[in-house]
Chain A
Amino acid sequence: MSDMQDNGHHHDHDHAHGHRHPFQPDLEDGDYSYYQVMTEAVIELLVGKKVITAEELRSTIEVIDSKSPVFGARLIARAWVDPAFKARMLEDVISAAGELGIDAGAIPIRAVENTTAVHNVIVCTLCSCYPRSLIGLPPDWYKARAYRSRVVREPRAVLKEFGTQIPVDVEVRVHDSTADLRYMVLPARPSGTGDLDEEALADLVTRDCMIGTALPKSA
């Protein structure tokens, strides 16, 4: 699990304590939900019918857990130090990721570049499409009604709620993702970072920078 997704907010029966046997529900937390029972039943039936195996399920969860914003941040740091790479990344994110040995999956991802004139932000108004292969699983608010409804209409107000103020002379562009095309924001390199190497630059790039709700920390 990415530590960037852990800020201690928990939601009813959705507790995760990280020490549980993978085939046990949240027994120590008391009640389990109807849909947790359904999940277990469906899995047991699918395994029983040999549609999937328990081993495949385990290894797929490992793949999900392995995805984190670290991958996206590495791409961005490389783009900041290598203009030719950046050009290739803007052309084709998946193949650029491949150059760094990062598997960005099969669904096209388009990088949208922040400049002094344009700030980009991403959303999926219809559901929750998100560049998971490069940023990990989407945070709850990305999938929730308020963000999906409002960010396309009043992005500056929404960004302000995240503590991100975009100057009025900078255009804000909102990109609505679909199942067939996801976006990621390529933030601008912060000033005062001329001395930093690629690794240190990558540390400045958080998940929210790649969603567009935050700007990279200055060094």
Chain B
Amino acid sequence: MRRHHDMGGLDAGPVVQNEHDFAPWEKRVDAVLRLLSGPERRLITVDELRRGIEDLGPGAYDEMSYYERWIASITNNLIEKGVLNIDELGLKMADVEARWDADRAAKNETQNEGVK
């Protein structure tokens, strides 16, 4: 019996040699982990990050993208450690989403003005 992340030696299809430039948000996730795990803070270890990723379970592990798994694990670790609480996170996410929707609406309006 092995856990789903422990895949060495299993069958799999051809290696799809895809690559992409990392998006700004992905680099931000990477940077947050570096800062939280660095010597000044030591809030999350790399092993805790990995444990959080492995605990996402087989479905999520395979469906989420790499940095999606990272931010999910980072966030869960921060909640477990009491650095963040789930309620303030929920409120802040709603706030971010509302702001981005408003930004986008404003931007679309400007673009529409432009073509008139």
Which residues does A use to contact B, with CB under 8 Å? Answer: 1, 5-7, 9-16, 18, 20, 22, 24-28, 32-33, 35-46, 49, 51-52, 56-57, 60-61, 63-65, 123, 125-128, 137, 139-141, 143-153, 158, 161-162, 176, 179
**B 31-75 contacts with A by CB, 8 A:** 31-32, 34-36, 41, 43, 46-47, 50, 53, 62, 64-68, 71-72, 74-75
Given known A-B contacts A1-B22, A152-B9, A39 and B66 have beta carbons under 8 A apart: no
Q: Which residue of A lies closest to B95 (CB)?
A: A41
The reply to whether A126 and B17 contact each other, CB–CB distance below 8 Å, is: no
With beta carbons under 8 angstroms apart, the residue of A16, A33, A61 that contacts B20 is A16
| 26 intermolecular pairs with C-beta atoms under 8 Å apart | A5-B21, A5-B22, A6-B19, A9-B20, A14-B20, A18-B21, A35-B72, A37-B96, A38-B93, A39-B32, A41-B93, A44-B96, A46-B32, A51-B43, A52-B35, A57-B31, A61-B30, A126-B6, A141-B18, A145-B7, A146-B15, A148-B8, A149-B10, A149-B11, A151-B15, A162-B15
| Interface of B (DSSP majority class) | helix
CB distance from A158 to the nearest CB of B (A): 6
Complex interface: chain A residues within 8 A of B21 (CB): 1, 5-6, 10, 16, 18
With beta carbons under 8 angstroms apart, the residue of A24, A35, A57 that contacts B35 is A57
The reply to whether A35 and B30 contact each other, CB–CB distance below 8 Å, is: no
CB distance from A101 to the nearest CB of B (A): 21
Summed over the interface, the residue pairs from A and B with CB atoms below 8 Å come to a total of 191
> What 6 A-B pairs are tightest by C-beta distance, nearest first?
A125-B8, A16-B21, A60-B31, A41-B92, A149-B12, A35-B68
When chains A and B are docked, how far (Å) is the Cα of A38 from the Cα of B64? 14
The reply to whether A43 and B8 contact each other, CB–CB distance below 8 Å, is: no
Complex interface: chain A residues within 8 A of B62 (CB): 145
